[in-house]
Structure 1
């Protein structure tokens, strides 16, 4: 359950519920509802803020399984590298990129390409 994972990460970071609320910009009452399982389907924006504050990602908040699949930098082909360079040249920030990745993961976990 997402609330339990958020609470566990919050405690691991040494944050009180007030501190996480302030750092993430999520109201204390809403955060409490999430942690207690009253609110079981927080929005992507809320999950993204919490994930960033807790130094994790939305996928890990939604899916407790740790992915052991890592891509070594040397195995990334030139097309990917060029794409990232182009995005940076066009002004994308790390935060924007992380948000787009979280959005894609969220969509995949919630039914893929249903429009």
Structure 2
């Protein structure tokens, strides 16, 4: 169950297995084993790292499928992604958009604004 939750959240955030593992500072094969439920009992430290990378709380990773579904982007986000595809944005270019979004988050945090 934990592995399925992690995989679902990772994909909903647009992260590859490699990206997620690198950001959590764990090996790609270890993350793959967790997602495929070959390792069904990862340490709490690993779960905490993944929660930070996936921007969710621990309960979401450890919880039921319903709590994970709540974290999946709403239809507006899916429409936005479809619009990006239609406008010719390639998957490889998404990293550039992430950099812009991270800058905006940083700027809002620096100015005391909310990032929601």
Structure number, greater radius of gyration: 1
Q: Deviations over 1:62-109 (max 9, x none)?
A: 11254xxxxxxxxxxxxxxxxxxxxxxxxxxxxxxxxxxxxxxxxxxx
Aligned position for 2:7: 7
* In structure 2, distance between residues paired with 1:26 and 1:20: 9
Rounded Cα–Cα distance in structure 2 between residues aligned with 1:60 and 1:10: 12
Where does residue 42 of structure 1 map in the other structure?
Answer: 42
Shift of 1:12: 0.3
Displacement after TM superposition at 1:57 (Å): 1.2
Q: What residue is the counterpart of 1:54 in the other structure?
A: 54
The match for 2:71 is none
Find out whether 1:24 has 2:24 as its counterpart: yes
Structure-2 separation of matches of 1:41 and 1:54:
19
Displacement of 1:33: 0.3
**Higher share of residues assigned helix:** 2
Residue 49 (structure 1) shift: 0.1
**Count of aligned pairs:** 66
State the TM-score, normalized to the length of structure 1.
0.55
Q: What stretches of structure 1 move > 6 A for 4+ residues in a row?
A: none
- Output the TM-score relative to the length of structure 2: 0.55
**Structure 1: 5+ residue stretches without partners:** 67-115
